[in-house]
């Protein structure tokens, strides 16, 4: 029942097994699509975060808004099982419970305090897609500003209720959740993907467009 | 008696994980919806098992809104599972998790170091006792072993591959090497970490994730291929606890002078594959006490008839590789959370009409044009699903969106290829002018071609999308598992015949 394996065979096979695991891990890592996720508030920088997170799912259990979701197998080996926020489904209400309970420090403890949250939390930054935003296209909406936890600090409204995001934005995603346009005209770009901000902000519809149904040019 | 206590502890561990997760979900329901609204939701779900369960908890835990608030803040102190547990605000983490997190995160976190003190003390006293007494997966594996014995008693030919027990240290070592490069493989491989996570994802999302497939594969592996193969030869968690428990206070010791002649019952029952009848126990013993309770001094007979089928190294390697290769297919069984209808989810999911969240999003750039392509799914009832495909085209050079005519062609997946299914031809005077919508009535895999003409040049973009939960993948996985089981049985049969032919005694 207990067969004896010679030393040489064991060393040989264990070398094969070990290298198969290591190289398999690297290959899986390479093959995965590089996607940047919006992390819960207080997350350490991304390269450290995926290492420090032990995938215990406690942050997801404690989240009172069920905003924290977990990456499934499509996220590749470095991301799989880590927490992320999909703001269109549920935005973060900045209760800071997840950081307080995280056992490994992957999510740092931040006090549930208005000023400290603005200073320390930086999940990402919201960006307005001017091509499809109602307020930039002859209609008036302003829903995003109403849902913002820091109105007029992180998100200002200009004439015709046009939203303008400032650098104070923490990236909680409540604006993206509340946007009435489909697809969403305001979205949170997670940190590490700042180059995408210009892409959304630079394209704008001509403001007075004769093709707009039921509305003469210049109202 | 000892074994009853052990079983009770094992079952209560699973009960604790389950109740913590259910209570967490209950706390979420309360804080998201408020007491009164919550009860309305529960009433709506009358007859549904979840509705009954949460209604009952609500009656006991939070009779009034004030009590509800207190209860929520109270259960916030109890979170987690076997991998990491928070009890009354105090955290206990698996030492292996802490080691891996420290290596791969390259950061030392003092609360994490404090949280492993209790498990470390436990290990120095009881050694590898976690495996035998706490590990929730071990309970499943033990039940699995009972099933294996049943199969054997029905003379079903199953394999029993034995390997070297030292392989698990190799697995552990290579995992640690991987974590040096920031790749954490352990939390997805260790089944006891997976168990609590699968419980979480079932209770919170009513869907299992890929880990369930891994657990089922391991159970199948131990059932058909190798008796207690994972725990004995491969589990890196067991290897870690064995190494730490090298010196320990509580040991199992066999007094060979009292042994009956030719009795090997203790060795036969040992789940870790040790040999107490020769007093070869060592650091891998998990102090489960099975050999103690089964020793014939208490006159218990426990018959095993495990056949050891001799296989070459190559055949073993092929079978194990087959299992390893199968795990990537596990993604086929899982369905995306977004597509799932969720039970009582106050903010969003309870309203199954929640089409705002894109199920797929693509940004693609070609010939100076950028296309944002997103798909929105709207489940109207159990049978019908309405899907909107939206394309937003931007002209990079002009800095403006493209508003000319646009064509979307949908290719629906048949068994092996894509067939043209629907054509949407958007003219410039399309009523909403912007963005371009298309509606799809059925569930399947699609390939979408978005094409338009600019300055006499045809520009084409292509996106793969998945609508609903196509059934074909499940059929595919079922096919794979049938082939797997069939091949294992045939290999076993062939080898049995072969050994009969070769050995003159048989």
Q: What pLDDT is recorded for position B41? A: 67
Q: Which two tokens stand for residue B491?
A: 């290999």
B188 chain-A contacts, CB cut-off 8 A: 55, 77, 80-81
Q: Most confidently modeled of A2-6, B143-147, B272-276, B362-366?
A: B143-147
The segment with the largest mean pLDDT, out of B14-23, B219-228, B331-340, B403-412, is B14-23
> What pLDDT is stored for residue A109 in this prediction?
92
Pairing relationship of beta strands B90-93 and B84-87 according to DSSP bridges:
antiparallel
Per-residue pLDDT tens digits for B207-237: 777 778 788 888 888 888 888 889 888 899 9
> Which stretch of B10-14, B130-134, B249-253, B408-412 has the lowest confidence by average pLDDT?
B249-253
Range among B55-64, B116-125, B339-348, B399-408 with highest mean pLDDT value = B116-125
- Any chain B CB within 8 A of the CB of A6? no
| A contacts of B308 (beta carbons < 8 Å) | 1, 3
This model of the complex carries an ipTM of 0.83
Nearest to B303 by CA among B294, B312, B311: B294
A122-219 — its CATH code?
3.30.70.20
Cβ–Cβ gap A1/B306 under 8 Å: yes
Residues of chain B contacting A179 with CB distance shorter than 8 Å: 356
What pLDDT digit, counting tens, does each position of B295-345 carry? 776 533 333 333 334 456 666 666 666 555 554 444 444 444 433 433 333
Domain boundaries, chain A: 36-121, 122-219
Among A7, A8, A32, A51, most B C-beta atoms within 10 A, so best to mutate, is A51
Is any Cβ of chain A less than 8 angstroms from the Cβ of B405?
A: no
Answer whether A174's CB lies under 8 Å from A148's CB: yes
* Residue, of B326 and A94, whose pLDDT is higher: A94
Which of the four pLDDT bands, split at 50, 70 and 90, describes residue B395? confident
Q: A23 at the B interface (CB within 8 A)? A: no
Fold of A36-121: Alpha-Beta Plaits (3.30.70)
Residue B506 has pLDDT above 60, yes or no: no
Position B107 pLDDT exceeds 60: yes
Which residues does A88 contact at the CB level (< 8 Å), separation at least 6? A173, A176, A177, A184, A187, B356, B357, B358
Q: Is B248 exposed, middle or buried (0-12, 13-18, 19+ CB in 10 A)?
A: middle
Using a CB-CB cut-off of 8 Å, the residues of chain A touching B347 are: 65-66, 90
Report which secondary-structure segment, H or E, holds B320: helix B313-326
CB–CB of A41/A172 below 8 Å? yes
Is A52 at the interface with chain B, CB within 8 A? Answer: yes
Does A38 have pLDDT greater than 90?
A: yes
Distance from the B406 Cα atom to the nearest Cα atom in chain A, whole angstroms: 16
Residue A58 forms contact with B (CB below 8 Å): yes
Please name the residue that has the structure tokens 């995938």. Answer: A55
Identify the residue with better confidence: A143 or B335.
Answer: A143
Choice among A193-197, B173-177, B179-183, B425-429 with the minimum mean pLDDT: B425-429
| Average pLDDT of the residues in B32-55 | 70
Domains A36-121 and A122-219 share a fold: yes
Are the beta carbons of A193 and A36 closer than 8 angstroms? yes
Is B450 strand, coil or helix?
Answer: strand
- Please tell me if residue B336 touches chain A, with a CB cutoff of 8 Å: yes
Q: Does B57 touch chain A (CB under 8 A)?
A: no
B28–A64 CB contact, under 8 Å: yes
Architecture of domain B338-468: Sandwich (2.60)
The mean pLDDT value for A95-113 works out to 91
In this predicted structure, the answer to whether residue B25 has a pLDDT above a threshold of 70 is yes
Kindly state the average pLDDT of the residues B148-161.
84
A100 and B CB contact within 8 Å = no
What is the reported pLDDT for A1? 35
Q: How many angstroms separate the Cα of B118 from the Cα of each of A97, B34, B92, B248?
A: 24, 37, 7, 15
Which two structure tokens, joined as six digits, stand for B38?
């919550």
- Interchain proximity A57–B81, CB inside 8 Å: yes
B91 touches chain A (CB under 8 A): yes
Phi, psi angle pair for B87, to nearest 5°: -120, 120
Q: Give the three-class secondary structure for B180.
A: helix
**What's the pLDDT score for residue B383?**
57
B400 with A101: Cβ contact below 8 A: no
Among B424, B435, B436, B464, residue whose Cα is nearest residue B448: B464
Q: Which residue has the higher pLDDT, A117 or B392?
A: A117
Confidence of residue B267 (pLDDT cuts 50, 70, 90): confident
All residues of chain A having their beta carbon less than 8 Å from the beta carbon of residue B163 are 5
Q: In whole angstroms, give the CA distance from residue B277 to residue B280.
A: 7
Least confident of A193-197, B44-48, B501-505: B501-505
Given a cut of 50, is residue A200 above it in pLDDT?
yes
Residue of chain A with shortest Cα separation from B390: A183
Q: Say if residue A18's pLDDT is above 90.
A: no
Are the beta carbons of A57 and B80 separated by less than 8 Å?
Answer: yes
b/e per residue B411-424 (b: at least 16 CB within 10 A): bbbeeeeeeebeeb
Q: Is B438 left (phi over 0), alpha (psi -120 to 50) or beta?
A: beta
Q: B175 CB near a chain A CB, below 8 Å?
A: yes
The whole-angstrom separation of Cα B442 and Cα B472 is 14
**For B82-95, how does the pLDDT look when each residue is reduced to its tens digit (9 = 90+)?**
899 998 888 999 99
Mean pLDDT, chain B, whole residue set: 76
Residue A5: pLDDT band by 50, 70, 90 thresholds?
A: low
Helix axes B49-61, B65-75, angle to 10 degrees: 100
How far is Cα of residue B491 from the mean position of the Cα atoms in its chain? Answer: 28
Q: Number of H helices and number of E strands within chain A?
A: 9, 6
The more confident residue out of B41 and A198 is A198
Is the predicted pLDDT of residue B381 greater than 60, yes or no? no
- Say if the Cβ atoms of A183 and B374 lie within 8 Å: yes
Which position has the higher pLDDT, A46 or B505? A46
**Residue of A103 and B481 predicted with greater confidence:** A103
Q: Minimal Cα–Cα distance from A64 to chain B, Å? A: 5
For A28, B39, B337, B462, the CA distances from A33, given in Å and listed in that order, are 10, 43, 19, 18
> Which residues face A84 on adjacent strands?
A69
Q: Comparing A170 with B332, which gets the higher pLDDT? A: A170
Contacts of residue A81 in chain B, CB cutoff 8 Å? 187-188, 197
Model confidence at A76: pLDDT above 70: yes
Backbone angles phi, psi at B436, to 5 degrees: -90, 125
User: Would the pLDDT of A39 be above 90?
Assistant: yes
Whether residue A210 lies within 8 A of chain B, CB to CB, comes out as no
A4, A103, A207, best to mutate vs chain B, most B CBs in 10 Å: A103
Q: Does B442 touch chain A (CB under 8 A)?
A: no
Residue B382 pLDDT: 55
Which segments of chain B belong to CATH 2.60.40? 338-468
Measured distance CA(A127)–CA(A163) in Å, rounded: 9
Mean pLDDT of the B472-490 span: 64
Residues 371-390 of B with CB under 8 A from A: 372, 374, 376, 388, 390
Give me the pLDDT at residue A189, please: 92
d(CA B180, CA B106): 8
């Amino acid at each position: 029942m207990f067969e004896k394996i010679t030393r040489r065979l064991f060393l040989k096979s264990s070398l094969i097994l070990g290298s198969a695991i290591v190289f398999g891990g690297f290959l899986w890592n390479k093959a995965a699509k590089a996607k940047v996720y919006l992390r819960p508030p207080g997350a350490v920088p991304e390269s450290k975060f995926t290492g420090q997170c032990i995938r215990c799912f406690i942050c997801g259990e404690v989240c009172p808004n069920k905003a924290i979701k977990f990456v499934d197998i499509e996220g590749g080996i470095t991301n799989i099982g880590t927490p992320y926020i999909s703001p269109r489904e549920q935005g973060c209400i900045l209760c800071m419970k997840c950081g307080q309970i995280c056992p490994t420090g992957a999510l740092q403890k931040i006090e549930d305090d208005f000023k400290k949250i603005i200073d320390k939390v930086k999940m990402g930054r919201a960006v307005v897609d001017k091509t499809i935003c109602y307020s930039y296209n002859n209609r008036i909406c302003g829903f995003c500003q109403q849902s913002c936890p820091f109105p007029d600090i992180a998100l200002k409204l200009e004439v015709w209720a046009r939203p303008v995001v400032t650098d104070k934005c923490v990236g909680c995603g409540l604006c993206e959740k509340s946007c009435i346009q489909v697809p969403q005209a305001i979205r949170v770009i997670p940190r590490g993907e700042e180059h995408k901000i210009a892409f959304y902000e630079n394209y704008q519809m001509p403001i007075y467009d004769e093709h707009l149904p039921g509305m003469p040019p210049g109202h | 008696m000892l074994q009853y206590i052990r079983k009770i502890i094992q079952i209560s561990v699973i009960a604790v994980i389950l109740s913590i997760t259910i209570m967490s979900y209950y706390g979420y329901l309360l804080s998201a919806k408020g007491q009164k609204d919550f009860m309305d939701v529960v009433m709506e779900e009358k007859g549904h098992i979840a509705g009954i369960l949460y209604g009952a908890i609500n009656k006991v835990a939070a009779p009034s809104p004030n009590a509800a608030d207190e209860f929520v803040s109270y259960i916030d102190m109890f979170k987690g599972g076997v991998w990491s547990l928070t009890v009354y605000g105090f955290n206990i983490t698996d030492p292996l998790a802490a080691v891996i997190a420290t290596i791969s995160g390259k950061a030392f976190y003092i609360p994490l170091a404090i949280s492993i003190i209790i498990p470390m003390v436990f290990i120095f006293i009881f050694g590898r006792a976690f495996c035998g007494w706490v590990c929730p997966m071990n309970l499943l594996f033990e039940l699995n072993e009972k099933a294996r014995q049943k199969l054997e008693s029905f003379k079903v030919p199953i394999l029993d591959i034995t390997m070297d027990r030292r392989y698990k240290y190799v697995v552990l070592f290579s995992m640690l090497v991987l974590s040096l490069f920031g790749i954490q493989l352990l939390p997805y491989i260790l089944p006891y970490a997976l168990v609590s996570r699968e419980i979480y994802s079932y209770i919170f999302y009513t869907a299992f994730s890929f880990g369930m497939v891994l657990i089922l594969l391991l159970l199948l592996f131990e059932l058909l291929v190798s008796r207690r193969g994972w725990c004995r030869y491969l589990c890196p968690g067991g290897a870690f606890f064995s190494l730490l428990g090298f010196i320990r206070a509580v040991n199992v010791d066999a007094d060979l002078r009292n042994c009956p002649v030719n009795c090997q019952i203790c060795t036969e029952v040992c789940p870790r594959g040790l040999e107490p009848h020769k007093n070869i126990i060592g650091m891998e013993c998990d102090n489960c006490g099975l050999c103690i309770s089964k020793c014939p001094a208490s006159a218990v007979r426990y018959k095993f008839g495990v056949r050891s089928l001799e296989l070459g190294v190559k055949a073993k390697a092929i079978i194990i590789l087959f299992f390893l290769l199968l795990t990537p297919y596990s993604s086929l069984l899982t369905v995306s959370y977004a597509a799932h209808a969720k039970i009582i989810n106050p903010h969003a999911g309870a309203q199954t009409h929640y089409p705002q969240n894109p199920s797929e999003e693509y940004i693609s750039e070609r010939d100076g044009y950028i296309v944002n392509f997103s798909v929105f799914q709207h489940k109207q009832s159990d049978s019908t699903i309405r899907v909107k495909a939206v394309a937003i085209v931007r002209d990079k050079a002009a800095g403006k969106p493209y508003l000319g005519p646009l064509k979307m062609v949908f290719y629906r997946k048949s068994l092996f290829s894509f067939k043209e299914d629907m054509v949407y031809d958007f003219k410039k005077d399309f009523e909403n002018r912007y963005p371009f919508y298309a509606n799809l009535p059925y569930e399947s895999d699609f390939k979408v071609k978005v094409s338009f003409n600019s300055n006499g040049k045809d520009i084409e973009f292509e996106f793969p999308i998945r609508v609903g939960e196509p059934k074909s993948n499940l059929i595919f996985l079922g096919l794979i598992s049938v082939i797997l089981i069939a091949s294992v049985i045939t290999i076993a049969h062939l080898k049995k015949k072969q050994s009969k032919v070769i050995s003159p005694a048989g």
